[in-house]
Structure 1
Amino acid sequence: MVDIKEINVERLEVAASMLKAMAHPMRIAILKHLEGGKKLTVTEIHELLKIEQSTTSHHLGILRDKGVLCSKREGKNTYYYLRYNILSQIVDCLETCTCD
């Protein structure tokens, strides 16, 4: 049983915010493409998902702002990657839970 004193409300709020950001089909697809330590640019992601680059940038911004993704600028390109590789386990769990 969890002792109520052990619950850190701030951490729970951050976790809930991250989960809300992930809760979109395109964002889940983005996370799937970034599994395994992959780093991809907006262009690479929008080509993989076959969606507009502006839409891709919008989704990446939300994921980055909520702490799900990090970005690193290298020359003219900005690469996006999972802040915590363990987040891919959430995506895997969703895939498993939605199978018939």
Structure 2
Amino acid sequence: MNACSCIYVNDIIMKMDKEKLERAAYILKAMAHETRLCVLMQLAETKEKSVSDLQQEVGCEQSLLSHHLTDLRAKGILNARRDGQRNLYSLNNEQIIPLLECILNYCK
């Protein structure tokens, strides 16, 4: 392999890593709020909850909680489904759970 192809392969690897880093920063920014972290931890424990259940556990106004839920859903971190008149929220990917645990353990 000549030097030119090595540089090209390295550029592809660097671009891939940059895309992963950008995605990681995007996810971490979305999580970077006490209420959002609390919501994610609650959903990590019970898999799926309604807005009213989350409101009781998180302890903030329903309108503010809905704003946080909408943002987390828009960023692909949460799923939402309708059950009658209730919206039920769950984690989009459970691989976020070890990340949450790591962050909380780091803060001890």
TM-score (norm 2): 0.80
Q: Structure 1 segments of 4 or more deviating over 3 A? A: 9-12
Name which of 51, 74, 94 aligns with 1:65. Answer: 74
TM-superposed deviation, 1:50: 1.4
- Name stretches of at least 5 consecutive residues in structure 1 with no aligned partner: none
1:93 aligned onto 2:102: yes
Cα gap change, 1:91/1:33 in structure 2, threshold over 3 Å: closer, same or farther?
same
What is the SS of the residue equivalent to 2:88? strand
- Whose radius of gyration is greater, 1 or 2? 2
* Alpha-carbon distance between aligned partners in 2 of 1:24 and 1:79, rounded to the nearest angstrom: 21
1:29 aligned onto 2:34: no
Matches within 5 A, 1:1-100: 3-6=10-13, 7-8=15-16, 9-36=18-45, 38-99=47-108
Structure ranking higher on relative contact order (CA contacts 8 Å, 6+ apart):
1
Aligned residues: 97
Alpha carbons 1:36, 1:85 under 8 Å: kept: no
Q: What percent of counterpart residues are identical?
A: 34
